[in-house]
A and B are shown apart, each in its own frame.
Chain A
Amino acid sequence: MSKEKKKAPTANTAPETKAAEAVKAAAMEETAAAADPLDFDDDDPLSATSVSKKSLVIFFLIDTSGSMKGKKMGELNTVMEELIPEIRRVGEADTDVKIAVLTFGTQVRWMYSEPIPIEDFEWARLRADGVTSMGEAFKELSARMSRNSFLNSPSLSFAPVIFLMTDGYPSDDYKPALAELQQNSWYKFGLKAALGIGNEANDDMLAEFTGSEDTVVHAYSGGQLAQMIKIIAVTSAQIGSKSMTLSDDTNHELSAEEVRAAKQKLLGQQIQDSMTNLGDADAVSFDTGW
């Protein structure tokens, strides 16, 4: 599979509303066609295809700058390799889950040129080198999170999961890029989580990215890194690939306002709960001993 970064065509930056309208038109057309008598040769009640599924893309944004070299990258590669087979069935019969991995060092690169179904995904081990072009990564993500690009499923989608992992502060000016990303509707509704690795990573900056402190965690050792990646990836994939259980204790008619961002809140809650149960796996921190 190719690993080159494709330049986003300008059409990708078209406003979401336009894309939604195009889909609306397409849907109208399709239903009109469906009203005509169907001509299926096959009327066998047993020959079904898989149920129509919703689609979910999980984006991993991974810092591959030089400071990630060594133990951090080793842990990260190992845990990702092990993790993906473990969450292969997370979509059950409801959701087609795909994975896209964007790495940022000096260069911003997609691991594969398009999102890959989780069942077929194979982790290509990453190598660390260069500076931290996080702003560039945000720009690239924003361009790809579009109906015309990576989120082009014809059926219904869940908002994407976006998981950022970094051990440092952006070396480029990330602010305008983040501001642009925050205008992207997929990003707005998406489930965002971030993992800071070691002492250099800035939790405030990461909370700016996720939109809440609850969905930011910090790993100071290899053991923590592995556990946290796993917790965040599994929890966000589970919440992201399923519809939300909206009802709770309050026995009253729910409003759209009350349920807004319910998944992001639940993700924050579950991540925080899991963190309290996390033991001190190993005592040697990333930033000591070298």
Chain B
Amino acid sequence: MIELAIGQEVEMEYGGRAQVLGVIGSGGQGTVYVVRYNGMKWALKWYDVDKIRNPKAFRTNIKNNISDGPPSNKFLWPKYLTKENSDGTFGYLMELKPDSFDSFVDILNTYKLTVDPFTGRSSKKPVRFSSLYAMVTAVINIVNAFRQLHRAGKSYQDLNDGGFFINVDTGAVLVCDCDNIAPDGNNFGIGGKPGYMAPEVVRGVAKPNVQTDKYSLAVVLFKLLFRGDPMEGEKVVKDVCLTESSELKHYGQNAVFVYDPDDASNRPVRGIHDNVIKFWRIYPDYIKEAFIRSFTSGILEPSKRIIENEWQKLFIRLRSEIIQCGCGRTNFCSMFERPDIKTFKCPKCGSIFGTLKFSNRNYRTPLYLGSVFYECEIDPDSEDFQTVAGELVENRLKPGVLGFKNTSTKTWRAKMPDGDFYDIPPGKGFPVWQGLQIDFGEVTATL
């Protein structure tokens, strides 16, 4: 435990000094400080080199990551290395997380602790997503970040709840702790965080790699949506005390998913796992099936694990199936009544919602005032899940009349009540009516 003192200066590799201003937090491999360098504030990760198996190789890997640069702007990537001290200790600078982001740990806890600097007393402040939309967007962003990382040929290695910051209002995501990221196949000694580690890593028969990242990613997603541990159910709780050997059993050799359809031995226990019991009922089947696959056949066969692109598609669909009813009820359309194939009905207030059938999907998408669709949903070549392409709005001059507004950069064609197709350039709209057909180019949609 070699700690830096406040006010102490650390020499940077390419000149200049970073001055320590305060402590942010400690982790398994070292401590993170706020420092000032070149007139700006940065985060400095300073290593406890005793806890790193091969500090030289570890340092070289960070150096390589710095020169490769981040896969996207969703990463708080290492920026500058410090000089190595005579005793081998060193660190690196990265950008500070913006204040508008909360740690994933605080989201799981549902609160954060703020400490009064004078009395040292702590108080709890609630942390929760401000909308369902923001939550599902956060999931899409997490999946997308790992897709980008894996496409760059790298694995994260110790994917866990400490690795993300999330803006709970927008769903924006920042991946942090990027210092163990290594070219797929390399490992610098990190095993990962138990509970998130793939069973083969827990058992000691594999090192972290892209395939084990996929398992850990499924755990992260499960925790975010279902707010519980996918492997902790009755079978585990019966052990009362989680010793090292029970851990090897329940997370390695004999890991059983709490909702394994063929093995009911580890179901969630009421009073302990209430979140999981409640949320498992809410999510649509295609989401549950993806988790079942990840945590049943995906346990022993890494190739059966869900790939990021597949997750991304599932969650883009899930986001398009959120209905915000005027009565205040917001939920997935699977939690609304369905009087016929083309409509959803709010079980609380009875409001009726029409649906749109896109030619590239085999399910219908619910429509409500304010519902949107994205570029990637109307253009098969687009991966843009952030730019809104169209929105259901109310006509400003004819209150009560709903229509679609083209917010994309392309011209669409739409069938009007007179039976003819008209060009709909960007910024223009058209009414929703019984016989509506929209031609987006490669994708079409009908009411």
User: A residues bordering B, Cβ < 8 Å?
Assistant: 19-20, 23-24, 27-28, 30-31, 33-35, 38, 40, 42-46, 48-52, 54, 85, 88-89, 92-94, 119, 147, 154-159, 185-186, 189, 231, 234, 238, 242-248, 250-254, 256, 259-263, 273-274, 277
Q: Mark B215-240, 1 if CB is under 8 A from A, else 0.
A: 00000000101011100101011111
Residues of A within 8 Å of B191, CB to CB, are: 245-248
Q: Mark B93-120, 1 if CB is under 8 A from A, else 0.
A: 0000000000011001111010100001
Residues of A within 8 Å of B79, CB to CB, are: none
| Closest CB in chain B relative to A196 CB, distance in Å | 20
B129 close to A (CB within 8 Å): yes
Besides the contacts A46-B132, A159-B242, A256-B248, what 17 more A-B pairs have beta carbons closer than 8 Å?
A30-B269, A30-B270, A30-B271, A38-B277, A38-B281, A51-B108, A52-B229, A52-B275, A93-B109, A156-B237, A189-B241, A243-B247, A244-B194, A245-B191, A245-B193, A247-B202, A256-B249
B269 engages A27 (CB within 8 Å): yes
What is the bound-complex CA distance between A50 and B124, given in angstroms?
A: 13
What is the bound-complex CA distance between A253 and B205, given in angstroms?
A: 5
A157 engages B240 (CB within 8 Å): yes
Q: Which of B122, B234, B243 touches A31 (beta carbons < 8 Å)?
A: B234
Closest to B28 in A: A238
| Closest CB in chain B relative to A188 CB, distance in Å | 9
Q: Which of A93, A247, A250 touches B105 (beta carbons < 8 Å)?
A: A93
Q: Mark B46-74, 1 if CB is under 8 A from A, else 0.
A: 00001000000000000000000000000
Q: Which of A31, A46, A251, A274 touches B269 (beta carbons < 8 Å)?
A: A31
| Closest CB in chain B relative to A138 CB, distance in Å | 20
What is the bound-complex CA distance between A234 and B3, given in angstroms?
A: 14
A259 engages B248 (CB within 8 Å): yes
A51 engages B194 (CB within 8 Å): no
B83 close to A (CB within 8 Å): no
In B117-154, which residues have CB < 8 Å from any A CB?
120, 122, 124, 128-129, 131-132, 135
A158 engages B122 (CB within 8 Å): no
Residues of A within 8 Å of B205, CB to CB, are: 251-253
Listed from nearest, the 8 A-B pairs whose CB atoms lie closest are A243-B194, A93-B108, A256-B245, A254-B204, A245-B191, A259-B244, A48-B227, A34-B270
Residues of B within 8 Å of A34, CB to CB, are: 267-270, 277
What is the bound-complex CA distance between A42 and B348, given in angstroms?
A: 12
B261 close to A (CB within 8 Å): no
B290 close to A (CB within 8 Å): no
In B266-289, which residues have CB < 8 Å from any A CB?
267-279, 281-283
A157 engages B242 (CB within 8 Å): yes
What is the bound-complex CA distance between A237 and B124, given in angstroms?
A: 22
Closest to A278 in B: B1
B201 close to A (CB within 8 Å): yes
B2 close to A (CB within 8 Å): yes
In B239-260, which residues have CB < 8 Å from any A CB?
239-245, 247-249, 251-252
B331 close to A (CB within 8 Å): yes
Residues of A within 8 Å of B273, CB to CB, are: 52
Q: A44-B331, A273-B50, A277-B2 are in contact. Are A38 and B240 (CB under 8 A)?
A: no
What is the bound-complex CA distance between A52 and B283, given in angstroms?
A: 19
| Closest CB in chain B relative to A122 CB, distance in Å | 9
Question: Which of B162, B194, B248 is most buried by chain A, counting CB atoms within 10 A of its CB?
Answer: B248
Q: A252-B205, A256-B249 are in contact. Are A156 and B240 (CB under 8 A)?
A: yes
Q: Which of A24, A51, A246 touches B204 (beta carbons < 8 Å)?
A: A246
| Closest CB in chain A relative to B165 CB, distance in Å | 14
Residues of B within 8 Å of A45, CB to CB, are: 132, 135, 225, 279, 282-283, 331-332
| Closest CB in chain A relative to B267 CB, distance in Å | 5
Residues of B within 8 Å of A52, CB to CB, are: 228-229, 232, 272-276
| Closest CB in chain A relative to B353 CB, distance in Å | 17
Q: A31-B270, A49-B110 are in contact. Are A20 and B204 (CB under 8 A)?
A: no
B238 engages A23 (CB within 8 Å): yes
B110 engages A48 (CB within 8 Å): yes
| Closest CB in chain A relative to B431 CB, distance in Å | 32
A159 engages B243 (CB within 8 Å): yes
Closest to A250 in B: B204
Residues of B within 8 Å of A246, CB to CB, are: 191, 194, 202, 204, 244, 247-248, 252
What is the bound-complex CA distance between A267 and B89, given in angstroms?
A: 22
Residues of B within 8 Å of A261, CB to CB, are: 244
| Closest CB in chain A relative to B195 CB, distance in Å | 6
Q: Mark B332-375, 1 if CB is under 8 A from A, else 0.
A: 10010000000000000000000000000000000000000000
What is the bound-complex CA distance between A259 and B204, given in angstroms?
A: 11
B332 engages A259 (CB within 8 Å): no
| Closest CB in chain B relative to A55 CB, distance in Å | 10
Q: Which of A50, A185, A242 touches B108 (beta carbons < 8 Å)?
A: A50
11 sampled A-B residue pairs with Cβ under 8 A: A27-B234, A27-B238, A43-B331, A44-B330, A52-B229, A92-B161, A93-B161, A246-B248, A247-B202, A256-B245, A259-B245
Residues of A within 8 Å of B279, CB to CB, are: 45, 48
Residues of A within 8 Å of B245, CB to CB, are: 256, 259-260
What is the bound-complex CA distance between A43 and B128, given in angstroms?
A: 16
| Closest CB in chain A relative to B207 CB, distance in Å | 8
| Closest CB in chain A relative to B160 CB, distance in Å | 9
A242 engages B240 (CB within 8 Å): no
A252 engages B240 (CB within 8 Å): no
| Closest CB in chain A relative to B52 CB, distance in Å | 12
Q: Which of A20, A42, A273, A277 touches B240 (beta carbons < 8 Å)?
A: A20
B25 close to A (CB within 8 Å): yes
Q: Which of A35, A50, A154, A156 touches B110 (beta carbons < 8 Å)?
A: A50
B410 close to A (CB within 8 Å): no
Question: Which of A34, A261, A277 is most buried by chain B, counting CB atoms within 10 A of its CB?
Answer: A34
Closest to B1 in A: A274
Residues of B within 8 Å of A185, CB to CB, are: 241
What is the bound-complex CA distance between A243 and B223, given in angstroms?
A: 17
Closest to A35 in B: B267
What is the bound-complex CA distance between A23 and B234, given in angstroms?
A: 11
